[in-house]
A and B are shown apart, each in its own frame.
Chain A
Amino acid sequence: MAKKRTIRSIPQARTPVREQDPQVRRHNFTEVNLGYDEAEALLESQRCLVCPEPACIAGCPVGIDIPGFIARISDGDIRGAYDVLARTNLLPAVCGRVCPQENQCEGVCIVGDVLEPVAIGRLERFVGDRAIAEGWARRPHIEPNPFRVGVVGSGPAGMACAADMAKAGCAVTVYEAFHLPGGVLRYGIPDFRLPNAVVDAEIEALRRLGVRFECNTLVGRLFTIEQMIDELGYQAVFIGTGAGYPAMLGIPGDSLNGVLSANELLTRCNLMRARDFPAVDTPLPLGRHVAVVGAGNTAMDAMRVSLRLGAEKVSCIYRRSRAECPARAEEVHHAEEEGIEFHWLTAPVEVLGDGKGNVRALRCQTMVLGEPDRSGRARPVPVPGSEHDIEVDQVVFAIGTNANPIIGQTSGLGLDRRGYIAVDDTLATSLAGVYAGGDIVTGAATVIEAMGAGRRAAASMKAYLGLSGPAAEGGSAGLFGLPPDQRNFVRLRVG
């Protein structure tokens, strides 16, 4: 890099990204954001000040060397940029698309104090896409070891853990309950935000590392976590089964036909491809006027999918205001452009039926923001006498998830109060050799946090197996520093 950049010398405006026209895209499932080309990426990369104490790194949940990869883009070394990214982020093409950058790296970027922050996410995606196109995620040299590692769940947490354990030389098998791998990336996030081709490419990269995927396998019921260690011969197990179990509306009328969870809508549409019904067999109920309750990423996806399936009108019902809306800023913006009708400060109180078991309307009530609640967000309080009906024929709820109970039902693993898997700082569970991370530990969170958890667990598993730390350096790679034939598993952890 030639001259030191200053806030005055850099391009002042953020490089715009090409997008599909809102009026066109609201009828198709092709990606909305078309991504930077090389010239645009180069231009945007020049807005980074390469700060000596970069705030962005601290803002990133996994601490990516952001100025490091951006500087390489500036140098025209895209491959080098990928190598920097890949050191910390296994899924740059995914995270560049779906991370809530405005709350993370971009939210604290120094440039953002004066101008619009550097478009870190778009740059990350540019590099990630280039890597997929060029096949850079090739197989590194792997020194095989005798350990077998089982991973339960093929979402971002499981994928990240599997990649690291495979690179460490273990034989890794990923078990997935669905018939296709990818977790939420596959069944939840729609193609217009994250094309399936990107997910396929990431899975393929894992296969090239030697990771085996066993789909159609419901762990806990087909075999238990304990059996994986005792009978199936896994020395270490990672659980990344996600949050699942959608929370119910809990208002009168919520079991009428036409009321469904966003997860059901999205799974039918994305995983089962019901949007192509009748070419595929899975049906999807189509509403003319759809109300979606909630305003997180899941809610945004449900609204925009409904629109693309042909709904005439889609309304968002959210009990707080736009400022508190938890979805990614870009998604809310895109949803607004596409013509979603937002009802902020509105809470549903009852689903009204047509007398034949179908939805006729959603009765709502206006809210005002009161004192902050425990989460620090202003608590919405109903306005007396503000009840009003919104005519809808379908109600989709996206108001959060609870812990999936299957692993808890079928194993002796310690759970926390809310039913999520309890872990310590190293992500170890109450069973020796069994680690957990992602949404099944934290509750619904983000892709990057799940990915980070998978990698942290992998680091702990390597230490546990003696593949890193003192034992490995001492030369005798083995559990607790013991050679394999002297190992004796005791499934008890003191702690």
Chain B
Amino acid sequence: MLQTQTEAGFEIVRREDFSDVTYLLAVRHPLMARAAKPGQFVIVMSHPEGERIPLTIADFDAAEGTVTLVIQAVGKTTREMQQTCTIGTHLHALVGPMGVPTHMGRAKKVVCVGGGLGVAPIFPQARGFKQNGAKVIGILGFRTKNLVFWEDRFRDVCDEVILCTDDGSAGIKGFVSDGIRQAIAAHPDIDEVVAIGPPIMMKACAETTRPFGIRTMVSLNPIMVDGTGMCGGCRVKLGDVVKFACVDGPDFDGHLVDFDDLMLRLRRYAEEEKAAVARWSETCRMRALLAAS
């Protein structure tokens, strides 16, 4: 059997920095590289005292034996990883692929929407739909031009790409929901929309497609612990039904998802998270001072 896990953990073999907050890590895990399917995620612990954080598998390469994660530094763990996860270092824990893979179905014309960091995880889905023979329209949303990444990769696998920036510095000026409207106007025969991004963006996408009755799948990102269905921390509401995003999802029908509930629950540990970042920044500052003196 392929041995991936060493005493030290899982090796980081490649790293790219897309911006000062977004970075890519390719991690060696040959078995997972073979098993992963679009729509799945992993849980990572960067060190033994670390938190278990879920990250979408943004790409996988069976030949190279790696899975790729694209991470946005938003809090203690992801900022710390931005500093410590260099090539040759190891992740303490990496488990997956988790979650139900995206159902590719027989959709003939699909819109894949990625907002900000959601651009990375939507990529394997766009590629998957294309390989399935569908016509794929990619809609990528960023705040501004210098945050744009992977536009070329999407152009490779999509039949059409609509780039949107909030300030109009690249592509069209507007949100991805404007992109969706534009796509729907040009293509009345869209079978499905798949959207990944911040909850507020996915909610806007679902509201945009609702009047047209186009099936809209979203990938939810509630707080997780185990990722195996054991804790219920990742529960989400679909109408009156409760589902666990880690084992029943993370993809759900966007027209049923209670986004307000999701956004409320994401703020659950806001106090602790703020405190952790503050403490961590302070430690970094002290270290810098020490190093300078």
Residues of A at the B interface (CB closer than 8 Å) are 177-179, 187, 214-218, 221-223, 232-233, 242, 244-246, 248, 250, 255, 257, 260-261, 263-264, 267-268, 272-273, 277-285, 357, 404-406, 409
Please name the residue on chain A nearest to B233 by beta carbon. Answer: A264
A223 x B225 contact (CB < 8 A): no
Residues of B within 8 A of A214 (CB): 5
Residues of B within 8 A of A261 (CB): 231-233
Does B20 count as interface, using CB distance less than 8 angstroms? no
Pairs A-B, 10 closest by C-beta atoms: A283-B272, A264-B231, A281-B51, A179-B93, A261-B232, A244-B230, A216-B95, A280-B49, A246-B232, A357-B264
B247 x A406 contact (CB < 8 A): yes
Does B276 count as interface, using CB distance less than 8 angstroms? yes
Residues of A within 8 A of B269 (CB): 283, 285
Give chain B's interface secondary structure class.
Answer: mixed
Give A216 to B45 CA distance when docked, in angstroms.
10
Give A246 to B232 CA distance when docked, in angstroms.
6
Interface residues of B in 43-79 (CB under 8 A from A): 45, 49-52, 76-77
A245 x B261 contact (CB < 8 A): no
A282 x B51 contact (CB < 8 A): yes
A223 x B35 contact (CB < 8 A): yes
Residues of B within 8 A of A404 (CB): 228-230, 247
B95 x A406 contact (CB < 8 A): no
Give A280 to B280 CA distance when docked, in angstroms.
12
27 A-B contacts (beta carbon < 8 Å): A177-B227, A177-B228, A179-B45, A179-B93, A216-B93, A218-B228, A221-B96, A221-B97, A221-B99, A222-B31, A223-B31, A246-B230, A248-B242, A255-B242, A257-B265, A260-B233, A263-B232, A264-B225, A264-B231, A264-B232, A264-B233, A268-B225, A280-B51, A281-B51, A283-B51, A283-B273, A409-B247
- Contact flags B105-135 to A (C-beta < 8 A → 1, else 0): 0000000000000000000000000000000
Does B40 count as interface, using CB distance less than 8 angstroms? yes
- Contact flags B76-112 to A (C-beta < 8 A → 1, else 0): 1100000000000000111111111000000000000
- Contact flags B262-293 to A (C-beta < 8 A → 1, else 0): 00110111001101100100000000000000
Please name the residue on chain A nearest to B244 by beta carbon. Answer: A245
Give A216 to B7 CA distance when docked, in angstroms.
12
Beyond A279-B49, A282-B52, whether A409 also contacts B100 by CB under 8 A is yes
A357 x B235 contact (CB < 8 A): no
Give A303 to B273 CA distance when docked, in angstroms.
25
A267 x B225 contact (CB < 8 A): yes
Total contacts A to B, CB within 8 angstroms? 129
Does B226 count as interface, using CB distance less than 8 angstroms? yes
Please name the residue on chain A nearest to B1 by beta carbon. Answer: A232
Please name the residue on chain B nearest to A406 by beta carbon. Answer: B247
Please name the residue on chain A nearest to B50 by beta carbon. Answer: A281
Does B193 count as interface, using CB distance less than 8 angstroms? no
B237 in complex: contacting residue of A221, A255, A257, A267, CB < 8 Å: A255
Residues of B within 8 A of A272 (CB): 51-52, 225
Beyond A179-B92, A179-B93, A278-B275, whether A406 also contacts B242 by CB under 8 A is no
B276 x A278 contact (CB < 8 A): yes
Residues of B within 8 A of A187 (CB): 226, 230
Give A217 to B94 CA distance when docked, in angstroms.
9
Residues of B within 8 A of A263 (CB): 230-232
Beyond A248-B242, A255-B265, whether A218 also contacts B225 by CB under 8 A is no
Does B202 count as interface, using CB distance less than 8 angstroms? no
Please name the residue on chain B nearest to A233 by beta carbon. Answer: B1
Beyond A222-B96, A405-B247, whether A277 also contacts B272 by CB under 8 A is yes
A267 x B77 contact (CB < 8 A): no
Give A351 to B94 CA distance when docked, in angstroms.
36
Please name the residue on chain B nearest to A241 by beta carbon. Answer: B228
Does B205 count as interface, using CB distance less than 8 angstroms? no
B272 x A178 contact (CB < 8 A): no
B230 x A267 contact (CB < 8 A): yes
Give A233 to B269 CA distance when docked, in angstroms.
44
Give A284 to B105 CA distance when docked, in angstroms.
40
Does B195 count as interface, using CB distance less than 8 angstroms? no
Give A273 to B31 CA distance when docked, in angstroms.
30
Residues of A within 8 A of B40 (CB): 221
Beyond A261-B233, A404-B229, whether A222 also contacts B97 by CB under 8 A is yes
